[in-house]
A and B are shown apart, each in its own frame.
Chain A
């Protein structure tokens, strides 16, 4: 059977299941915009430059959250479930299941980020143009990869029970220390020293470079290193889990 059609079928049922689960759907999509309203809207309401910077930071927060939960919590919860076992008996390659998971995460990332951008558009004087949004989208696609792999690392190395608290802790800590909730220079001094080395800060720097036109080579290099490191750890975790369950 056609792998693309099968990937679409797998993504469709995953999306149907998640869209019908308000407990997943609402927090995932609305949480970043809600956080934006609570923490940054008061500063962004009157100044376009603040609105641009904070909106991009919360777009990054929306994307990292979806990646960490979809791949971290999703994989940890599903890898031992009977449904996952049934899927393995179907005539579909493993790439179909991974492709569907990536497509599902992409849909939710777009919705969550879109919610932030839409909310900002309505409530602030944000002035990013269409071309800048296209470049932001491309940066998010590339910059989201290490977060997918960090999520997969959680998914394959952490138990289903521990995955939610672990993913939440990592997401919130990285968001805070990476300067996604407040400008990095507002962070405590010791956090400011660490911040540039964190993937969330590097993703934010990448997105801010679209707005400021500054060079983003440092951010890209950092994200590439995280991609390599967590790609390797996730791959080892995947093989370990496969050996344990299906060798």
Chain B
């Protein structure tokens, strides 16, 4: 569906992508995670044809992403959203949908994204969260095969973010989705696969579970003779066996599984 192979891109002396490869197959929801300046947005912009790579190969539906014909199967939410102030939500959704051969029903899209009650509101009067919901709804309005969302929930409060995840999760069925995010929680909530990037390279590509298993560390805590003990260790099973074998007295033993955040920090060398 989408593939970037060994893509390189520099802005002057700054190298944004340094041989990045990325693939999205049909039915996948792929999260691109990375610290600020990792190259996430550049990768997305090249993938959807907004920018041209210096080197490497980019294919979208086996064609160049720069062609308008290719974008007939692509819906996008750019990193920043902004709309003509005087247009209503419904006019904007219908306008976006009108570019596609088999668009979704505008009323259904607005309902799914909680925009039904706002349909006649002018875009200039929308709150940040409402505006972002509209931007994400637009990506789905044309009923495209692939939806690309660049930091879809940036700037939203926790509640709005979670509500948008629910909507995207429900609505993503039948679509392939590629999204970038700073929020590990978001990747965990939505993605079937995570690609961690830093300094323009892919550091990890796999499921969230794989990431936790490969890069996560566990914490063991217990109350010993000299008080509370808490340590971080890769192999917690072996550690507990050693405690028992050595006859160490302990109580309130707790083993905390690795979080995606810890795994992410391990992958990126501590950069967030």
Contacts and interface: CB of A to CB of B under 8 A. Distances in A.
Interface of A: 1, 5-6, 9, 13-14, 16-18, 20-21, 81-83, 85-86, 88-93, 246-247
B40 interface: no
Interface in B97-113: 98-101
A176 to B, nearest CB: 33
B78 A86 contact: yes
A13 B99 contact: no
A1 B76 contact: no
What secondary structure prevails in chain B residues at the interface with A?
loop
Interface string B53-84: 00000000000000011111010101011111
Interface string B83-96: 11111000110011
24 contacts: A6-B99, A9-B95, A13-B87, A13-B91, A16-B87, A17-B87, A18-B86, A21-B85, A21-B86, A82-B82, A83-B83, A83-B84, A85-B50, A85-B80, A86-B138, A88-B50, A89-B48, A89-B50, A90-B71, A91-B70, A91-B74, A92-B99, A93-B68, A247-B52
A18 B86 CA distance: 8
Interface residues of B, number: 31
Given A1-B99, A17-B86, A89 B51 contact: no
A16 B91 contact: yes
A86 B76 contact: yes
A17 B78 CA distance: 21
Lowest 7 A-B CB distances belong to which pairs? A82-B82, A20-B86, A89-B76, A91-B71, A17-B84, A82-B80, A91-B72
A243 B81 CA distance: 22
Contacts of A21: 85-86
Nearest to B52: A247
B83 A90 contact: no
Contacts of B98: 1, 5-6, 9
B51 A246 contact: yes
Of B51, B52, B98, most buried by chain A (CB within 10 Å of CB) is B98
A137 B95 CA distance: 32
A6 B98 CA distance: 8
A13 B123 CA distance: 13
A18 B138 CA distance: 22
Given A13-B87, A13-B95, A92-B99, 17 more contacts: A1-B101, A9-B95, A9-B98, A16-B86, A17-B85, A83-B82, A85-B78, A85-B80, A88-B50, A91-B68, A91-B69, A91-B74, A91-B99, A91-B100, A246-B51, A246-B52, A247-B52
Contacts of A86: 76, 78, 81, 135, 138
A88 B45 CA distance: 11
Nearest to B81: A82
B166 to A, nearest CB: 24
Nearest to A93: B68
Nearest to B48: A89
Contacts of A16: 86-87, 91
Contacts of A9: 95, 98-99
